[in-house]
């Protein structure tokens, strides 16, 4: 896969179709790739990497990148294409300046899962036949790929690219039997006291680092209300439980109907708070109340909070 | 020993055209409701931002009610329809977080429904009073 | 040196907790350890390191500084400071223990931060030598020995128990108070454990990372390096690295109107934030490149410049593990060093 | 910091009876920013207002809080008083101490406490109030009427009579609309043409009215008072200014195969044609789909016979641009296509016709010269069956029909039945109905005449099927009252098809940013109180485009609509409500969330240059609100995630300050 992507990127750079390539660059370890822009063939050959740990959704970078001179090539996984479409619908990116290569995806790995298995001191990870051989300073171990798969990928909603200029690999289908609302349902089935205790336990860990917000493709405001001293609700730290709730409720509300459920918020949370469960609650409710809606699927479809029907359920 | 009866704090956001007028109607008809209810006038129920609701709870409110024109009667044609969707989602989310759902409510009260205004507020006050003080969305800094 | 048998660890905790609050790493249910107040039944986690650093004990994320009350035209200033109660933090790793030196340089030099000092005076640090360092560890780069951590008391896990050594008066006092549980021992077992750890440390991928190319007096050479652009281009501008960092010490001061007074509090700030040190005229660092550069220049150049060569990083590796886009100080150091040789 | 004056009104004993007004004034005098606080017997009285004005002068007040009756009562009074003293009206806030306190609470202590809290909330708001200026925009004193049916004609005439210029845009070659096709009108049975055509002529001859027939609206920009419309004048291939309407070309045209739409396709017309004798403007039009000259360049007869030299085969569509102060939608209706109801045999059995077709079959100017002959064999029908509610009042599951009542069918069917029975007493007439709805002046009397005087057989029941049975039609139906199945052999079956808005309405609605319901009827600004206005300011509704109507109703609505238009055009300048939304361009990210919820189309987006870091320039898409169009509901402020959109007079901070003060 990496070879094919690199080859296409080199070709498109060479024939002038694009002047820059947005992908991932190699890290210190086998799993810590950083999103990067490559401008020359040398840079690409030197640093371009694509593997199962390239989970970052690159679409949000296009807000900035598509406003620069020249066309940029971007590699998007199926779930990233939904974010891309949503950004497009919100006029945040300039389509003409972007060349999208859709790349097939069968789920990304989460190094945290490997570490939770006690794999410390990782020096190498090799993928073969659905298994990872993880080499560490303490010895090596083989792990089934699905055991290391990121939570969000286990509940993948779609393997279909909703937008692309060309594809590398196969285009998949929308996953109709995905189980992404299971945990929401479990929470709904609890008593309010249990739910309160659950969320207190989770949200009290928040350190308000804003990683969830800053990585979120829907959170693309010029300035967030929580950073704006004039908004009247600015807060720099979650001083107490109220502010933790306030930040996460309002953030989820602000992205309701715009969140594509890409799962980046939970991926990046340094405190492992399952933030996606807030967004999924809104998604599940909107589906149930107002009919199925998948943000980013069809940029022309009216979002649930941008329309109404006379017979909507009462609040 | 004097027992002080617990009195909840209720914020009522009322749209200017229907519910605020309904509250005026309740007044004109001398239809009482608990003094715990304090009304904030907004042009339309759709002006009510979820942030205002959370803010009220932070500052010590025990219940928040939004009152607007009946669906179809909005002065701005569509405002209350948006209110209905937004609040349905917000209230469901609060419930999901384990915050008592009964503390929040949306009611449609027309300018002619002074009696309904009074009845709704009385009933809402009783519901909130039964729940007791808002603990789950409180901000201790704002308590005296 | 004192020895504690394996079975008596819990007794030690109980004994300490009887005197003062005891905090130690405990699995928080997400696969991560966090400092938690000990109570009967609490299980000590031997995880390599806590998710959040130990600096929280001395420099908490938010802290009230004072309050104001207004009555008519009169304003009263209320000092909310209280003498801190004694407490013990157990299981601090070498890196975090070293971070306290860095924080002390900032907060205990004139003008002394009394809020910090108050906590520091009342806290006793019991460190735990590392046995299973991870690939993200690079404390050795900054001259920190994971096998021989500092702190008021140092603790080693050996085959049949724990060996403790008091390093300070506070440490002596702590061990004296629990002396009944301890027996005297020599340092043989400790040396064995240390050798083992050091052998692993040498094999770690970052073992060879050096501070060459960064440090005192290099502002001019490093400030305008073109690599900052590519290093910072993916940075989200979040505060993750800052907030998990044991040495980041910046804060913002804000007022909160409670409705019946004003609370003036401070809270952690991050130089990665776009409103960091925003002033009346605006923001001194307007692009993420500048903000990113500030963070690393501060740790690798400015701080050593002002503190006799002491780096503002202890190599705990938290930012390596937590950065949403996997950009970190190691990549910065290596890139700067590589470019410098060209 | 504001300098706030607080005025607590006793309202006689209305407030003072339950609220300790002196205590309230005293308590509020200690609030930050309050420099003057007093109570007074009647604040709304002349002397009360004088008191306020003096205090403004003496204490240099910048903000006013009046504790009095509802702002719905005297807010305007106090605002005026403040303005008279040079203080901006919007620096006045009312604490409602009467309707919301004294009239509903009995306990003096509790009522006083509540009054103080409401006073504090008002003070907290005033602290954040900013002077607001009502904007003004000029008015172009000309109206555009879209649609030249009876609704459009009536509206145009009334506006023109008031002295304002009006343009009518009509997509077909002549004005007149559906009414021109009708035979007689209920309940008076006067001939439609006799009452309509004089109005058409009036419109044509009125010096203030310009008729753009055979023209369509192309684009509309702007807002109330200041619309710019582009009108496409479709090529007639006949010079309107030269054509005298003599009709010689229509007679000589050799191509006589075009279906005559005016006669519902029952006969043919030439490729060059005048729709009907009284057409306005009475000029010929060449149908490019049929004209041999235009199709293959062979013929040119009309050009040769035209004495005026009006024929111009090279004519092109022309786009003209005009400015208007108000726009009226009068786009009218069409019957639905009855073919979707295959069970009634329409489209397969020639003798199944719609009611509008029957109008032509009975019209003296129609294809049969007014003699009722059935289409198949031109024989007199002896049994006629009318089927009501074809496509009207359907359940949600019926995708072929409409959920609403078309309103006019009951009456015109009674009219048809009556006319047939009068002219041809030997004809049996059956009407199958679900309900007969006759709420109108002289309507029920009219219907009863049909039954009682003319012996029309009204049968409550549904027609199940109509099939061809030799020369006759076999009608299967049920009689619900008798509880039996009926089989009737009919010679003619007439379907009262539902009416629907004209197909062009939706696109015109989009152009006008006027909202429409799911059936494509235009939505009125308020269903009861503003029935002839669209929620979009400056757009008005006339006739069936707003909902089904008969002629009397259409005409009265058309005149009401004209009155509203005149109300706009009579002003030199429009004052806008200053409490409108506005977008902070530095915060706006141009995501379009606000635009989606704006009922008025008041929000537009522009690409603007902003200063980026380090002397760079960034171009960003940002929202801007047209204050002349925005009505100030605030829906956008909540849709906006970045908080860029705020509502003047009800800002986020003001409302939160009130919340804080109340919850304190």
Q: Identify the band that residue B4 occupies on the pLDDT scale cut at 50, 70 and 90.
A: low
What's the confidence (pLDDT) of residue B3? 55
Interface of D with C (CB under 8 A): 30, 32, 613-614, 660, 663-664
Minimum-distance CB partner of D659 among B33, B40, B72? B40
Q: Identify the band that residue D593 occupies on the pLDDT scale cut at 50, 70 and 90.
A: very high
At residue A140, the 3 state secondary structure works out as strand
Count the domains in chain C.
2
Q: Please work out, in degrees rounded to the nearest 5, the angle formed at the alpha carbon of residue D562 by the alpha carbons of D557 and D566.
A: 150
User: Looking at the domain assignment, is residue A102 inside a domain?
Assistant: yes
User: Looking at the domain assignment, is residue C211 inside a domain?
Assistant: no
Among the three residues C156, C171, C203, which one is the final residue of a domain in this structure? C203
pLDDT digits (tens, 9 = 90+) for D224-241: 999 999 999 999 999 999
Ranges of beta strands (E only) in D122-208 are: 136-138, 142-146, 165-169, 184-185, 190-191
Residue C342 reports pLDDT greater than 70: no
Domains of chain D: 4-128 (3.40.50), 141-233+317-332+502-575 (3.50.50.60), 235-314 (3.30.70), 335-500 (3.50.50.60), 581-648 (3.30.70.3270)
Residues in chain D within 8 Å Cβ distance of A91: 590-592, 605, 621
Q: A91 and A139: one domain?
A: no
User: Looking at the domain assignment, is residue C115 inside a domain?
Assistant: yes
What is the rounded average pLDDT of the residues C20-28?
95
User: Looking at the domain assignment, is residue C68 inside a domain?
Assistant: no
User: Looking at the domain assignment, is residue B5 inside a domain?
Assistant: no
What is the rounded average pLDDT of the residues A235-254?
95
Q: C198 and C238: one domain?
A: no
Residue C117 reports pLDDT greater than 70: yes
Q: C241 and C168: one domain?
A: no
Nearest Cα to Cα of residue D4 among D62, D78, D80 = D62
Q: A127 and A268: one domain?
A: no
Among the three residues C143, C177, C203, which one is the final residue of a domain in this structure? C203
pLDDT digits (tens, 9 = 90+) for B80-139: 999 999 999 999 999 999 999 999 999 999 988 999 999 999 999 999 999 999 999 999
Q: C164 and C248: one domain?
A: no
User: Looking at the domain assignment, is residue C65 inside a domain?
Assistant: no
At residue D230, the 3 state secondary structure works out as strand
Q: A202 and A291: one domain?
A: yes
CB contact (8 A) between residue A227 and residue C240: no
Interacting residues of D124 by C-beta distance below 8 A, sequence separation 6+: D657, D658, D660, D661
Domain of residue B69, CATH code = 3.40.50
Q: C196 and C83: one domain?
A: yes
> How far apart, in whole angstroms, are the C-alpha atoms of residue D247 and residue D584?
63
pLDDT digits (tens, 9 = 90+) for A176-233: 888 999 999 999 999 999 999 999 999 999 999 999 999 999 999 999 999 998 998 9
What is the rounded average pLDDT of the residues D62-88?
96
> How far apart, in whole angstroms, are the C-alpha atoms of residue C114 and residue C97?
20
Q: C181 and C233: one domain?
A: no
Handedness of CA A231, A236, A239, A241 (dihedral sign): positive
Residues in chain C within 8 Å Cβ distance of D32: 70
Q: A161 and A38: one domain?
A: yes
> How far apart, in whole angstroms, are the C-alpha atoms of residue D392 and residue D496?
9
Interacting residues of B100 by C-beta distance below 8 A, sequence separation 6+: A192, B131, B134, B136
Residue D653 reports pLDDT greater than 70: yes
Residue A311 C-alpha, separation from nearest chain D C-alpha, in angstroms: 12
Minimum-distance CB partner of A250 among B51, B92, B139? B51
Residue C32 reports pLDDT greater than 90: no
What is the rounded average pLDDT of the residues A232-255?
94
pLDDT digits (tens, 9 = 90+) for B58-82: 999 999 999 999 987 888 888 999 9
Residues in chain A within 8 Å Cβ distance of C326: 27, 32-34
Domain containing B15: what range? 10-134
Interacting residues of C282 by C-beta distance below 8 A, sequence separation 6+: none
Minimum-distance CB partner of A210 among C52, C238, C265? C238
Q: A248 and A266: one domain?
A: yes
A193 vs C: CB within 8 A: no
> How far apart, in whole angstroms, are the C-alpha atoms of residue C29 and residue C33?
8
Share of chain D above pLDDT 70, in %: 100
What is the rounded average pLDDT of the residues D65-89?
96
> How far apart, in whole angstroms, are the C-alpha atoms of residue D33 and residue D132?
20
ipTM of the predicted structure? 0.94
Residues in chain D within 8 Å Cβ distance of B82: 597, 635, 638-639
pLDDT digits (tens, 9 = 90+) for D327-385: 999 999 999 999 999 999 999 999 999 999 999 999 999 999 999 999 999 999 999 99
User: Looking at the domain assignment, is residue A71 inside a domain?
Assistant: yes
User: Looking at the domain assignment, is residue A248 inside a domain?
Assistant: yes
pLDDT digits (tens, 9 = 90+) for D255-305: 999 999 999 999 999 999 999 999 999 999 999 999 999 999 999 999 999
Domain containing C315: what range? 219-341
What's the confidence (pLDDT) of residue C340? 59
Nearest Cα to Cα of residue B77 among D172, D601, D599, D163 = D599
Q: C197 and C230: one domain?
A: no
CB contact (8 A) between residue B38 and residue D118: yes
User: Looking at the domain assignment, is residue C208 inside a domain?
Assistant: no
User: Looking at the domain assignment, is residue C67 inside a domain?
Assistant: no
User: Looking at the domain assignment, is residue B115 inside a domain?
Assistant: yes
Residues in chain A within 8 Å Cβ distance of B68: none
Token code pair at residue C140: 């050795």
Q: C30 and C160: one domain?
A: yes
CB contact (8 A) between residue C259 and residue D613: no
Q: C150 and C251: one domain?
A: no
What's the confidence (pLDDT) of residue B1? 47
> How far apart, in whole angstroms, are the C-alpha atoms of residue D84 and residue D73?
19
Nearest Cα to Cα of residue A33 among A20, A44, A43, A23 = A23
User: Looking at the domain assignment, is residue C310 inside a domain?
Assistant: yes
Interacting residues of A177 by C-beta distance below 8 A, sequence separation 6+: none
Interacting residues of D198 by C-beta distance below 8 A, sequence separation 6+: none
> How far apart, in whole angstroms, are the C-alpha atoms of residue D177 and residue D150?
7
User: Looking at the domain assignment, is residue B139 inside a domain?
Assistant: no
Residue C341 reports pLDDT greater than 80: no
Q: A63 and A131: one domain?
A: no
What's the confidence (pLDDT) of residue D629? 87
> How far apart, in whole angstroms, are the C-alpha atoms of residue B127 and residue B133?
11
Residue D517 reports pLDDT greater than 90: no
Q: A57 and A72: one domain?
A: yes
What's the confidence (pLDDT) of residue C281? 87
> How far apart, in whole angstroms, are the C-alpha atoms of residue D158 and residue D479?
48
Residues in chain C within 8 Å Cβ distance of A33: 326
User: Looking at the domain assignment, is residue B1 inside a domain?
Assistant: no
What's the confidence (pLDDT) of residue C178? 95
Q: Identify the band that residue C74 occupies on the pLDDT scale cut at 50, 70 and 90.
A: confident
What's the confidence (pLDDT) of residue D575? 87
What is the rounded average pLDDT of the residues C190-212?
95
Domain containing A194: what range? 182-306
pLDDT digits (tens, 9 = 90+) for C222-268: 999 999 999 999 999 999 999 999 999 999 999 999 998 999 999 99
Nearest Cα to Cα of residue A55 among A32, A84, A81 = A32
> How far apart, in whole angstroms, are the C-alpha atoms of residue D558 and residue D555?
5
Greater model confidence, C283 or A258:
A258
Count the domains in chain B.
1
CA distances from B73 to B110, C101, D147 (A): 8, 68, 29
Nearest Cα to Cα of residue D233 among D254, D217, D252 = D217
CB contact (8 A) between residue D633 and residue B43: yes
Q: What is the DSSP letter of D238?
A: B
CB contact (8 A) between residue C243 and residue A209: yes
What is the rounded average pLDDT of the residues C115-140?
96
Q: A133 and A225: one domain?
A: no
What's the confidence (pLDDT) of residue A77? 96
User: Looking at the domain assignment, is residue B141 inside a domain?
Assistant: no
User: Looking at the domain assignment, is residue A48 inside a domain?
Assistant: yes
């Amino acid at each position: 896969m990496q070879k094919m992507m690199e080859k296409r990127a080199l070709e498109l750079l060479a024939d002038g179709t694009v002047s820059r390539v947005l992908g991932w660059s190699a890290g210190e370890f086998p799993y810590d790739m950083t999103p990067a822009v490559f401008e020359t063939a040398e840079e690409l050959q030197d640093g371009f990497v694509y593997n199962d740990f390239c989970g970052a959704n690159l679409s949000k970078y296009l807000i900035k990148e598509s406003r620069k001179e020249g066309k940029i090539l971007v590699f998007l996984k199926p779930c990233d294409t939904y974010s891309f479409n949503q950004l497009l619908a919100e006029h945040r990116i300039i389509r003409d300046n972007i060349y999208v290569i859709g790349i097939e995806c069968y789920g990304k790995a989460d190094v945290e899962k490997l570490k939770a298995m006690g794999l410390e001191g990782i020096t190498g990870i090799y993928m073969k036949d659905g298994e990872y051989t993880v080499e560490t300073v303490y010895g090596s171990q083989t792990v089934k790929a699905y055991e290391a798969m990121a939570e969000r990928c286990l509940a993948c909603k779609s393997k279909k690219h909703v937008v692309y200029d060309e594809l590398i690999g196969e285009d998949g289908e929308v996953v109709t039997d995905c189980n992404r609302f299971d945990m929401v349902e479990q929470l709904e089935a609890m008593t309010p006291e249990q739910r309160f205790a659950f969320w207190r336990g989770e949200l009290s860990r928040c350190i308000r680092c804003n990683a969830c917000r800053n990585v979120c493709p829907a959170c693309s405001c010029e300035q967030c209300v929580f950073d704006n001293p004039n908004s009247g609700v600015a807060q720099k730290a979650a001083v107490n439980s109220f502010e933790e709730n306030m930040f996460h409720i309002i953030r989820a509300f602000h992205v309701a109907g715009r969140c594509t459920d890409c799962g980046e918020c939970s991926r990046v949370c340094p405190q492992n708070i399952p933030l996606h469960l807030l967004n999924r609650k809104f998604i599940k409710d909107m589906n149930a109340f107002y009919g199925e809606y998948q943000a980013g699927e069809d940029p022309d479809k009216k979002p649930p909070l941008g329309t109404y029907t006379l017979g909507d359920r009462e609040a | 020993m004097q027992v002080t009866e617990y009195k909840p704090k209720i914020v009522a956001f009322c749209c200017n055209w229907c519910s605020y007028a309904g509250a005026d109607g309740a007044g004109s008809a001398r239809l009482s409701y608990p003094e715990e209810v304090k009304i904030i006038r907004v042009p339309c129920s759709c002006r009510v931002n979820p942030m205002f609701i959370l803010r009220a709870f932070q500052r010590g409110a025990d219940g928040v009610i939004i009152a607007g024109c009946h669906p179809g009667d909005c002065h701005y044609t569509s405002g209350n329809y948006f209110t209905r969707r937004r609040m349905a989602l917000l209230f469901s989310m609060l419930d999901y977080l384990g915050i008592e759902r009964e503390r929040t409510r949306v009611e449609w009260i027309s300018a002619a429904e002074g009696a309904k205004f009074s009845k709704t507020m009385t009933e809402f006050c009783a519901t909130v009073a039964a729940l007791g003080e808002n603990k789950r969305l409180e901000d201790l800094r704002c308590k005296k | 040196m004192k020895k504690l048998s394996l079975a008596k660890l819990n007794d030690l905790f109980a004994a300490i907790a009887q005197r003062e609050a005891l905090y130690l790493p405990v699995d928080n249910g997400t696969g991560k350890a966090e400092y938690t107040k000990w109570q009967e039944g609490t299980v000590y986690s031997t995880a390599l390191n806590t998710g959040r650093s130990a600096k929280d004990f001395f420099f908490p994320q938010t802290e009230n500084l004072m309050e104001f009350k207004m009555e008519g035209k009169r304003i009263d200033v209320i000092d909310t400071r209280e003498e801190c109660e004694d407490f013990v933090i157990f299981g601090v790793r070498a890196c975090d223990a070293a971070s306290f030196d860095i924080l002390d340089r900032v907060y205990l030099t004139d003008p002394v931060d009394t809020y910090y000092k108050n906590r520091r005076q009342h806290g006793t640090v019991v460190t735990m030598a590392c046995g299973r360092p991870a690939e993200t560890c690079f404390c050795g780069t900054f001259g920190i020995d994971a096998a021989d951590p500092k702190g008021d008391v140092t603790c080693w896990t050996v085959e049949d128990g724990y060996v403790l050594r008091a390093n300070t008066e506070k440490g002596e006092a702590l061990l004296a108070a629990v002396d009944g549980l301890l027996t005297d021992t020599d340092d043989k077992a400790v040396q064995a454990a240390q050798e083992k750890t050091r052998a692993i440390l040498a094999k770690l991928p970052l073992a060879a990372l050096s501070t060459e190319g960064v440090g005192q007096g290099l502002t001019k050479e490093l400030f305008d390096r073109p690599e900052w652009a590519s290093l910072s281009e993916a940075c989200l501008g979040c505060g993750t690295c800052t907030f998990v960092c044991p040495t980041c010490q910046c804060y913002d001061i804000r007022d909160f109107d409670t409705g019946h007074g004003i609370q003036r509090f401070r809270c952690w700030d991050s130089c990665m934030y776009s409103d960091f040190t925003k002033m009346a005229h605006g923001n001194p660092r307007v692009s993420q490149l500048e903000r990113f550069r500030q963070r690393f220049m501060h740790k690798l150049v400015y701080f050593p410049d002002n503190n006799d060569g002491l780096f503002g990083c202890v190599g705990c590796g938290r930012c390596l593990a937590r950065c949403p886009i996997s950009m970190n100080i190691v990549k910065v150091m290596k890139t700067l060093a590589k470019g410098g040789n060209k | 910091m504001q300098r706030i004056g607080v005025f607590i009104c006793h309202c006689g004993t209305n407030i003072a009876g339950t609220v300790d007004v002196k205590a309230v004034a005293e308590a509020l005098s200690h609030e930050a920013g309050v420099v003057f606080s007093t109570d007074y017997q009647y604040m709304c009285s002349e002397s009360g207002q004088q008191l306020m004005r003096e205090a403004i002068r003496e204490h240099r007040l910048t903000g006013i809080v009046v504790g009095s009756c509802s702002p719905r009562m005297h807010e305007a009074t106090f605002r005026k008083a403040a303005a008279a003293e040079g203080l901006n009206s919007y620096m006045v806030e009312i604490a409602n101490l009467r309707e919301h306190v004294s009239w509903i609470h009995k306990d003096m202590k509790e009522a006083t406490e509540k009054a103080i809290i409401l006073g504090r909330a008002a003070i907290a708001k005033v602290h954040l109030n900013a002077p607001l200026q009502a904007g003004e925009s000029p008015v172009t004193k000309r109206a555009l009427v879209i649609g030249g049916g009876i609704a459009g004609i009536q509206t145009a005439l009334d506006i023109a009579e008031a002295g304002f210029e009006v343009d009518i845009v009509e997509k077909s070659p002549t004005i007149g609309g559906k009414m021109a096709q009708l035979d007689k009108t209920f309940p008076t049975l006067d001939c439609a043409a006799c009452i309509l055509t004089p109005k058409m002529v009036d419109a044509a001859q009125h010096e203030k009215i310009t008729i753009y027939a055979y023209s369509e609206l192309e684009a509309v920009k702007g807002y109330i008072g200041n619309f710019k419309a582009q009108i496409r004048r479709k090529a007639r291939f006949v010079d309107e200014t030269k054509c005298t309407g003599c009709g010689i070309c229509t007679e000589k045209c050799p191509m006589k195969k075009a279906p005559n739409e005016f006669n519902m396709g029952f006969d043919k017309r030439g490729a060059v044609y005048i729709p009907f004798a009284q057409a306005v403007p009475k000029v010929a039009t060449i149908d490019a789909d049929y004209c041999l000259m235009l199709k293959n360049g062979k013929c040119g007869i009309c050009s040769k016979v035209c004495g005026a030299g009006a024929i111009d085969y090279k004519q092109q569509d022309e786009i003209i641009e005009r400015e208007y102060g108000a726009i009226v939608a009068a786009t009218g209706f069409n019957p639905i296509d009855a073919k979707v109801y295959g069970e009634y045999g329409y489209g397969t059995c020639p003798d199944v016709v719609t009611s509008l077709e029957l109008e032509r079959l009975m019209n003296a100017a129609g294809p049969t010269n007014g003699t009722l002959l059935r289409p198949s064999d031109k024989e007199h029908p002896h049994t006629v069956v009318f089927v009501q509610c074809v496509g009207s009042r359907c359940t949600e599951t019926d995708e072929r029909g409409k959920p609403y009542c078309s309103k006019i069918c009951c009456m015109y069917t009674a009219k048809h039945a009556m006319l047939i029975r009068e002219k041809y007493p030997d004809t049996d007439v059956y009407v199958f109905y679900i309900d007969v709805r006759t709420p109108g002046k002289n309507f029920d009397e009219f219907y009863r005449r049909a039954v009682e005087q003319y012996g029309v057989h009204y049968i409550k029941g549904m027609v199940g099927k109509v099939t061809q049975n030799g020369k006759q039609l076999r009608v299967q139906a049920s009689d619900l009252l008798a509880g039996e199945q009926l089989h009737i052999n009919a010679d003619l079956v007439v379907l009262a098809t539902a009416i629907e808005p004209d197909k062009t309405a939706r696109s015109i609605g989009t152009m006008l940013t006027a909202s429409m319901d799911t059936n494509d009827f235009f939505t009125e600004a308020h269903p009861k109180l503003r029935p002839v206005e669209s929620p979009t300011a400056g757009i008005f509704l006339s006739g069936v485009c707003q909902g089904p109507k008969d002629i009397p109703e259409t005409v009265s609505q058309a005149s009401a609509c004209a009155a509203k238009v005149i109300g706009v055009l009579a002003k030199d300048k429009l004052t806008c409500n200053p409490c409108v939304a506005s977008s902070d361009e530095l915060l706006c990210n141009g995501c379009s969330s606000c635009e989606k919820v704006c009922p008025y189309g008041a929000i537009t987006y522009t690409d603007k240059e902003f200063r980026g870091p380090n002397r760079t320039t960034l171009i960003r898409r940002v929202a801007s609100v047209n204050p002349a169009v925005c009505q100030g509901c605030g829906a956008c402020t909540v849709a906006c995630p970045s908080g860029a959109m705020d509502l003047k007079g009800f800002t986020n901070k003001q409302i939160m300050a009130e919340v804080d003060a109340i919850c304190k």
